[in-house]
Structure 1
Amino acid sequence: MSVLGSKVMKLSVSLALILSLSVAANIFSEDSAPPTISGGSTSELVALKAANQAFVKAFNHRDASAIAEMWDEDGDYIDETGTHYVGRDAIHDEFENYFHSSCGRKIKVHANSIRFLRPDIVLIDGTSEVDPAPEGKPVVGRFSAIRIKKDGKWLLTSVRESAEEVPSNYEHLKPLEWMIGEWVDREDSSSIYTSAVWSKNKNFILRKFKVNLKGRIVLSGTQRVGWDPIRKQIKSWTFDTDGGVAEGYWSRHGSNWVVQKVGVLQDGTRATATNTYIFNENDEDSFLWKSENRIVGNIHEPDIDQVKVVRLPPALDSK
């Protein structure tokens, strides 16, 4: 995670620790189930809500000093990276640094439980979400916090957070795992080189290709293979250096994969084709590929007969 992403995550959870203390339903996102509340009088729950509102006001004014005062004097905080902050001064500095390096963001929180361990000690567990994060997607985290009541105030005394595991489409894409690696198709004076790797969290397979003709690269591009949750089908997006783009829907037929491909050339001409990957389950180091029903504009292009594609061995260390 980048430094900024880490800061956002730490902020998202820290905010959630305080915001989650509100028992009013409108404090939480509309699609969240209400938290489980164990113990605590109505007056104490109202006081916890007031503590939440005070924090929101301090945060909106970017007041790190006011926020630090909401912690117990020797309270501590451990973020999702394991960094440990002890005492108000350290917590103040953390928020001060954040306010100097970030812009305002909105937060959604959900307290799963609010449990009074004693009349003056409460434990809160839940999740938080900051939107938008730097990359455009919400930052989600889990938190656990303890508040204690001192001199009539509910102060944070112990905060623990962890990153929420990002959902992955790996199970949908796992049947294509054989594709990971480097591949080549060589014929006389031409060759096509392809590589495939997993993206972070295995939500996509990222492929690169280049076409070499008589020692010169005449075409190259990238392809992203993912899961379409609406059609419940594997889908690919291809971009080439000639300015062409294409989408393909993948379906499995025994050990073969058929891709119905629809694309647009740089000049706006539509192109379609049916590509087939013929995979031998007893040979993970090669497959056959062919392309049929190739139409560019209104012209039917010749089919491409089966070609054999073989896996390249791992590169040897020069040492």
Structure 2
Amino acid sequence: MSVTWASLCIAPVFADQEADEAAIRHAVEAYVTAYNSGDAKSLASLWSPEAVYSKPGTQEQVVGREAIEQEFSSIFGENNESKLVVDSKWIQFMSPTVALESGIARLTRPDQTAEETEYSAVYVKRDDDWLLDRVTEKLTPSMGPNYEHLKELDWLIGTWVDEDNDARVETKYAWTANRNFISQMYSLSIGDQIEHSGLQVIGWDPTSRRIRSWTFDSDGGYGEGRWKKSGKVWHIINLGTLPDGTKSSSSNIIKYVDDDTFTWQSVSRMCDNELLPNVDEVVVVRQKDSAAETE
């Protein structure tokens, strides 16, 4: 089944969007430079006059450019050696003068554990300048012991779609609490009806020291998989049990293309000791309006 990109729900494209996106990324860089220089005045100038900043943790609001300058003057006075690194993940234009930018901010201080937050920033265009208007941050959860083994799959987090004129497969990956596991919810729709769905949990098996997955589908079947990585390709050896007790097996191949694209194929498929045809390779794409989330 092939993907029809034009049929996905994506944001509209506005004139000069490429230039506007570059301007916003430049504003993000200017913000980091001002922060790491301890320059509260320059940092405040990057906000709109009526901007609102919500503090991470408490979500207390700081309103207006002057109050924001005072807030960061206080922060810099207490932590003048702190350093900020920002990983801007994506920018989505809501209108020609409003854009949403989000990413990960990492703050380090001498002799302290680094603090990481997920942020969402609304930019508004005023007199050809893109200014911060609203920023919210939330502290990322503490990482569980399994995260180190699963972090290579972090790019999967989000919603993915493979569709053609006949059917649509939608898959949603999300971290569970403390990022010890990844949950996957999937569904196959034909027209307006969901024909098949299921749940998969991906985790680290400390006994076999490998990534494993456990799958449960809406028909009553279940299975488990063993994951192995080779370069940018993941091979998953699956063993399953159908609702009537019949045994099945397959080898699924996931090839990373980029952060918004991967391919999927299923080969060496067996059911009740009979060889089944391979499933041709399909291209799967990320829904642009989906953000990575942690349950």
TM-score by length of 2: 0.49
Q: Which has the larger radius of gyration?
A: 1
Structure showing greater relative contact order (alpha-carbon pairs closer than 8 Å, 6 or more residues apart): 2
TM-score for the superposition, normalised by structure 1:
0.46
